[in-house]
Protein backbone atom coordinates (compact mmCIF):
# COMPACT_ATOMS: atom_id res chain seq x y z
CA UNK A 1 0.00 0.00 0.00
CA UNK A 2 1.31 3.45 -0.95
CA UNK A 3 0.28 6.61 0.87
CA UNK A 4 0.94 10.32 0.37
CA UNK A 5 0.84 12.41 3.57
CA UNK A 6 0.80 16.16 4.23
CA UNK A 7 0.95 18.29 7.36
CA UNK A 8 0.48 22.06 7.23
CA UNK A 9 -1.34 22.41 10.54
CA UNK A 10 1.35 24.46 12.29
CA UNK A 11 4.51 26.40 11.51
CA UNK A 12 6.04 23.33 9.86
CA UNK A 13 5.20 22.20 6.33
CA UNK A 14 5.84 18.52 5.67
CA UNK A 15 5.19 16.02 2.88
CA UNK A 16 5.95 12.28 2.88
CA UNK A 17 5.40 9.14 0.84
CA UNK A 18 5.30 5.70 2.46
CA UNK A 19 4.86 2.24 1.02
CA UNK A 20 3.67 -0.40 3.46
CA UNK A 21 5.97 0.04 6.48
CA UNK A 22 8.74 1.86 4.60
CA UNK A 23 9.25 5.63 4.44
CA UNK A 24 10.18 6.38 0.81
CA UNK A 25 10.69 10.15 1.13
CA UNK A 26 9.99 13.07 3.42
CA UNK A 27 10.42 16.82 2.92
CA UNK A 28 9.98 19.03 6.00
CA UNK A 29 10.50 22.78 6.35
CA UNK A 30 10.24 25.10 9.33
CA UNK A 31 11.32 28.39 7.80
CA UNK A 32 10.04 31.88 7.02
CA UNK A 33 7.80 30.90 4.12
CA UNK A 34 4.07 30.34 3.91
CA UNK A 35 2.56 26.93 3.28
CA UNK A 36 1.12 28.26 0.03
CA UNK A 37 4.72 28.83 -1.09
CA UNK A 38 6.15 25.51 0.06
CA UNK A 39 3.64 22.66 0.18
CA UNK A 40 3.02 21.98 -3.51
CA UNK A 41 6.68 22.56 -4.56
CA UNK A 42 7.78 20.14 -1.81
CA UNK A 43 5.33 17.55 -3.06
CA UNK A 44 6.52 18.07 -6.63
CA UNK A 45 10.17 17.69 -5.54
CA UNK A 46 9.38 14.35 -3.89
CA UNK A 47 7.42 13.24 -6.95
CA UNK A 48 10.35 13.97 -9.24
CA UNK A 49 13.07 12.55 -6.97
CA UNK A 50 11.20 9.27 -6.40
CA UNK A 51 9.66 8.94 -9.89
CA UNK A 52 6.30 8.86 -8.14
CA UNK A 53 3.23 8.25 -10.27
CA UNK A 54 0.45 9.89 -8.26
CA UNK A 55 -2.02 7.45 -9.80
CA UNK A 56 -0.18 4.68 -7.92
CA UNK A 57 -1.01 5.96 -4.44
CA UNK A 58 -3.85 4.27 -2.57
CA UNK A 59 -4.84 7.15 -0.29
CA UNK A 60 -3.86 10.63 0.92
CA UNK A 61 -3.38 11.32 4.63
CA UNK A 62 -3.53 14.81 6.10
CA UNK A 63 -3.18 16.41 9.51
CA UNK A 64 -6.81 17.52 9.71
CA UNK A 65 -6.67 19.84 12.70
CA UNK A 66 -6.69 21.57 15.01
CA UNK A 67 -4.01 24.10 14.19
CA UNK A 68 -3.40 27.23 12.16
CA UNK A 69 -6.63 28.14 10.36
CA UNK A 70 -4.75 29.22 7.23
CA UNK A 71 -2.47 26.19 7.30
CA UNK A 72 -5.37 23.78 7.73
CA UNK A 73 -7.26 25.36 4.84
CA UNK A 74 -4.23 25.10 2.55
CA UNK A 75 -3.61 21.47 3.49
CA UNK A 76 -7.29 20.59 3.18
CA UNK A 77 -7.66 22.27 -0.22
CA UNK A 78 -4.51 20.53 -1.48
CA UNK A 79 -5.51 17.00 -0.47
CA UNK A 80 -9.13 17.56 -1.51
CA UNK A 81 -8.05 18.70 -4.96
CA UNK A 82 -5.69 15.77 -5.33
CA UNK A 83 -8.25 13.31 -4.03
CA UNK A 84 -10.89 14.52 -6.46
CA UNK A 85 -8.50 14.59 -9.42
CA UNK A 86 -7.07 11.14 -8.69
CA UNK A 87 -10.25 9.59 -7.23
CA UNK A 88 -8.41 8.66 -4.02
CA UNK A 89 -9.76 8.58 -0.45
CA UNK A 90 -8.63 10.96 2.28
CA UNK A 91 -7.44 9.79 5.69
CA UNK A 92 -7.91 12.54 8.29
CA UNK A 93 -5.39 12.31 11.14
CA UNK A 94 -6.02 14.49 14.22
CA UNK A 95 -3.12 16.93 14.46
CA UNK A 96 -2.46 16.47 18.18
CA UNK A 97 -2.55 12.68 17.83
CA UNK A 98 0.03 12.95 15.07
CA UNK A 99 2.28 15.10 17.21
CA UNK A 100 2.06 12.62 20.08
CA UNK A 101 2.95 9.71 17.80
CA UNK A 102 6.37 11.31 17.26
CA UNK A 103 7.26 9.83 20.65
CA UNK A 104 5.98 6.31 20.00
CA UNK A 105 7.47 3.91 22.55
CA UNK A 106 8.19 6.36 25.35
CA UNK A 107 7.30 5.30 28.90
CA UNK A 108 6.28 8.87 29.81
CA UNK A 109 2.88 10.46 29.36
CA UNK A 110 3.02 12.51 26.15
CA UNK A 111 1.60 16.04 26.10
CA UNK A 112 1.66 17.88 22.76
CA UNK A 113 1.01 21.61 23.08
CA UNK A 114 0.40 23.87 20.10
CA UNK A 115 0.07 27.59 20.66
CA UNK A 116 -3.62 28.44 20.12
CA UNK A 117 -3.20 32.09 21.19
CA UNK A 118 -5.20 33.88 23.89
CA UNK A 119 -3.37 31.84 26.56
CA UNK A 120 -4.67 28.55 25.20
CA UNK A 121 -3.10 25.47 23.65
CA UNK A 122 -4.28 22.69 21.38
CA UNK A 123 -3.38 19.69 23.46
CA UNK A 124 -4.16 16.18 24.67
CA UNK A 125 -2.59 13.43 26.77
CA UNK A 126 -1.35 10.06 25.50
CA UNK A 127 0.53 6.95 26.53
CA UNK A 128 2.03 4.02 24.65
CA UNK A 129 1.16 0.45 25.56
CA UNK A 130 3.36 -2.44 24.44
CA UNK A 131 1.31 -5.34 23.14
CA UNK A 132 1.98 -8.21 20.77
CA UNK A 133 5.33 -6.94 19.56
CA UNK A 134 4.39 -3.30 18.96
CA UNK A 135 3.40 -0.10 20.72
CA UNK A 136 -0.16 1.16 20.56
CA UNK A 137 -1.06 4.74 21.39
CA UNK A 138 -3.79 5.19 23.98
CA UNK A 139 -5.56 8.52 24.36
CA UNK A 140 -5.91 9.70 27.97
CA UNK A 141 -7.32 13.15 27.12
CA UNK A 142 -8.68 13.73 23.61
CA UNK A 143 -7.35 16.66 21.60
CA UNK A 144 -8.92 19.93 22.68
CA UNK A 145 -8.36 23.65 23.08
CA UNK A 146 -7.59 24.43 26.72
CA UNK A 147 -5.76 26.82 29.00
CA UNK A 148 -2.24 25.65 29.87
CA UNK A 149 -3.34 25.65 33.53
CA UNK A 150 -6.12 23.18 32.73
CA UNK A 151 -3.92 20.60 31.01
CA UNK A 152 -1.25 21.03 33.71
CA UNK A 153 -3.86 20.21 36.34
CA UNK A 154 -4.85 17.06 34.47
CA UNK A 155 -1.20 16.02 34.24
CA UNK A 156 -0.74 16.53 37.98
CA UNK A 157 -3.79 14.36 38.65
CA UNK A 158 -2.20 11.50 36.70
CA UNK A 159 0.86 11.72 38.93
CA UNK A 160 3.22 10.48 36.22
CA UNK A 161 6.28 11.83 34.42
CA UNK A 162 5.38 13.76 31.27
CA UNK A 163 7.17 14.84 28.11
CA UNK A 164 6.10 17.95 26.16
CA UNK A 165 6.46 18.71 22.47
CA UNK A 166 5.06 21.16 19.94
CA UNK A 167 5.34 24.85 19.08
CA UNK A 168 3.62 25.73 22.35
CA UNK A 169 6.69 24.65 24.33
CA UNK A 170 8.76 27.82 23.76
CA UNK A 171 5.66 29.93 24.44
CA UNK A 172 4.81 28.30 27.80
CA UNK A 173 8.18 26.90 28.87
CA UNK A 174 8.53 29.57 31.54
CA UNK A 175 5.14 28.74 33.03
CA UNK A 176 5.31 24.93 33.01
CA UNK A 177 7.68 24.62 36.03
CA UNK A 178 5.29 26.76 38.11
CA UNK A 179 2.27 24.60 37.24
CA UNK A 180 3.55 21.03 37.47
CA UNK A 181 4.05 18.85 40.54
CA UNK A 182 5.38 15.87 38.54
CA UNK A 183 8.71 15.33 36.72
CA UNK A 184 8.73 16.60 33.14
CA UNK A 185 10.98 16.93 30.10
CA UNK A 186 10.89 18.29 26.55
CA UNK A 187 11.24 16.32 23.32
CA UNK A 188 14.41 16.70 21.26
CA UNK A 189 14.50 18.88 18.12
CA UNK A 190 14.07 15.93 15.75
CA UNK A 191 10.87 14.87 17.52
CA UNK A 192 9.20 18.06 18.68
CA UNK A 193 7.29 19.30 15.61
CA UNK A 194 4.82 17.97 13.07
CA UNK A 195 6.13 15.45 10.53
CA UNK A 196 4.28 14.04 7.54
CA UNK A 197 5.96 10.65 8.02
CA UNK A 198 4.18 10.35 11.36
CA UNK A 199 0.87 11.40 9.78
CA UNK A 200 1.54 8.68 7.18
CA UNK A 201 2.19 6.04 9.86
CA UNK A 202 -1.07 6.81 11.66
CA UNK A 203 -2.84 7.25 8.34
CA UNK A 204 -1.78 3.76 7.30
CA UNK A 205 -3.27 2.36 10.51
CA UNK A 206 -6.54 4.26 10.05
CA UNK A 207 -6.84 3.23 6.40
CA UNK A 208 -6.47 -0.44 7.30
CA UNK A 209 -9.18 0.04 9.92
CA UNK A 210 -11.50 1.57 7.32
CA UNK A 211 -11.22 5.10 8.75
CA UNK A 212 -11.17 7.17 5.56
CA UNK A 213 -13.55 9.34 3.55
CA UNK A 214 -14.29 10.43 0.03
CA UNK A 215 -12.40 13.54 -1.05
CA UNK A 216 -15.60 15.55 -1.45
CA UNK A 217 -16.52 14.83 2.18
CA UNK A 218 -13.23 15.98 3.68
CA UNK A 219 -13.13 19.09 5.90
CA UNK A 220 -10.59 20.27 8.50
CA UNK A 221 -11.36 20.16 12.23
CA UNK A 222 -10.79 23.61 13.69
CA UNK A 223 -12.06 22.93 17.26
CA UNK A 224 -12.88 26.62 17.68
CA UNK A 225 -13.86 29.70 15.68
CA UNK A 226 -11.27 31.74 13.81
CA UNK A 227 -10.40 35.24 15.03
CA UNK A 228 -12.41 36.82 12.21
CA UNK A 229 -15.46 34.70 13.08
CA UNK A 230 -15.14 35.58 16.78
CA UNK A 231 -14.89 39.28 15.97
CA UNK A 232 -18.01 39.10 13.79
CA UNK A 233 -19.95 37.43 16.61
CA UNK A 234 -18.66 39.91 19.21
CA UNK A 235 -19.45 42.84 16.90
What pLDDT shows up at residue 230?
Answer: 44
What's the whole-number average pLDDT of the chain? Answer: 94
Q: What confidence tens digit (pLDDT) does each residue in 12-57 have? A: 999 999 999 999 999 999 988 899 999 999 999 999 999 999 999 9
Q: What confidence tens digit (pLDDT) does each residue in 191-209 have? A: 999 999 999 999 999 999 9
List the Cα angle 202/204/209 in 5-degree steps.
Answer: 95
What pLDDT shows up at residue 33?
Answer: 87
- 89 pLDDT band, cuts 50/70/90, is very high
- Mean pLDDT calculated for residue range 208-219: 96
- Is the CATH number 3.30.420.40 carried by domain 2-95+193-234? yes
What pLDDT shows up at residue 61?
Answer: 98
Instruction: Bin 223: left if φ > 0, else alpha if -120 < ψ < 50, else beta.
Output: left
49 vs 197: CA distance, rounded Å = 17
**Three-class DSSP category at 96:** helix
Looking at 3.40.50.720, 2.70.150.10, 3.30.420.40, 3.30.930.10, the CATH number of the domain 103-186 comes to 3.30.420.40
What pLDDT shows up at residue 227?
Answer: 52
Question: From the CA atom positions of the chain, what is the Rg in Å?
Answer: 18
Q: What confidence tens digit (pLDDT) does each residue in 116-156 have? A: 998 899 999 999 999 989 999 999 999 999 999 999 999 99
What pLDDT shows up at residue 226?
Answer: 52
Strand partners, 99: none
Q: What confidence tens digit (pLDDT) does each residue in 166-183 have? A: 999 999 999 999 999 999
Task: Tell whether the model's pLDDT for residue 222 goes beyond 50.
Answer: yes
The answer to whether 83 touches 218, Cβ cutoff 8 Å, is yes
- Mean pLDDT calculated for residue range 61-89: 96
**Same fold for the domain at 2-95+193-234 and the one at 103-186?**
yes
Q: Where are the domains of the chain?
A: 2-95+193-234, 103-186
What pLDDT shows up at residue 231?
Answer: 46
Amino acid sequence: MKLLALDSSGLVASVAVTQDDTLIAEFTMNYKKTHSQTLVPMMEAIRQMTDLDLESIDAIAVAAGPGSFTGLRIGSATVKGLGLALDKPIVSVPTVDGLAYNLCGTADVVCPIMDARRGQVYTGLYEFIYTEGRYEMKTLVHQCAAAIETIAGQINQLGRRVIFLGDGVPVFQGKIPELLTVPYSYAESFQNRQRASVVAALGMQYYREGKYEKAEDHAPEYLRLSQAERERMEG
